Homo-oligomer: A and B are copies of this chain.
């Protein structure tokens, strides 16, 4: 029986995505509900937040769009959406609570766009695809939490919506190691280039130098 990597290689997966010339960064769900360990839905994401901040600080100075997402529910949504009967912990993420605020350690600025999302993907039920198309973005850098949930779903939707996708591995946080690694593997094989934040930064710097 051939090993997994050979099977994937033969099937044409794992190729390198095109780097475009108009990048944007999305920081998925680094809100307190996911980052402050006093909440049961959270985990310690300090290192990943810090690694992401290096990228977003640079991008903002280079006038590249920086976008944050958060999950925030209104009362009727919680009744209507089947997701909240499977993933009941998410129902705590209510509009107006601290859990839905972006963690201060991200360095989010007042003018950065905030996408209110309602499921796993930052594209589903939001105008993110329209914003990226309208701004002429061709490549999306996806960071945030959790790797095996909202990051994965956002990455899959990004490429399906027509954008090249880069995932800086050290900017993605999760609650447990096995799903984190399994999903980085899937994404790297099928949807995005999973690389280091250092490599992403170098590429952003090259682009900025060209302008």
Contacts and interface: CB of A to CB of B under 8 A. Distances in A.
B120 A76 contact: no
Contact of A13 (B11, B89, B116): B89
B125 A124 contact: no
B179 A135 contact: no
A142 B41 CA distance: 27
Contact of A7 (B10, B124, B136, B175): B175
A66 to B, nearest CB: 9
Interface size class of A (residues with CB under 8 A): 35 or more
Contacts of A12: 40-41, 87-92
Given A119-B127, A136-B138, 6 more contacts: A10-B40, A74-B114, A129-B161, A132-B162, A149-B186, A156-B156
* Residue in A8, A87, A135, A185 whose Cβ sees the most chain B Cβ within 10 Å: A87
19 contacts: A7-B43, A7-B175, A13-B89, A17-B86, A18-B82, A18-B85, A65-B76, A77-B127, A81-B130, A83-B191, A86-B190, A87-B191, A119-B160, A121-B156, A129-B133, A129-B161, A130-B161, A135-B162, A182-B186
B83 A175 contact: no
| Copies of this chain, count | 4
Interface of A: 4, 7-8, 10-13, 15-18, 40-41, 43, 65, 67, 74-77, 79-83, 85-92, 111-114, 116, 118-121, 124-127, 129-136, 138, 148-149, 153, 156-157, 159-165, 175-176, 178-179, 182-183, 185-186, 190-193
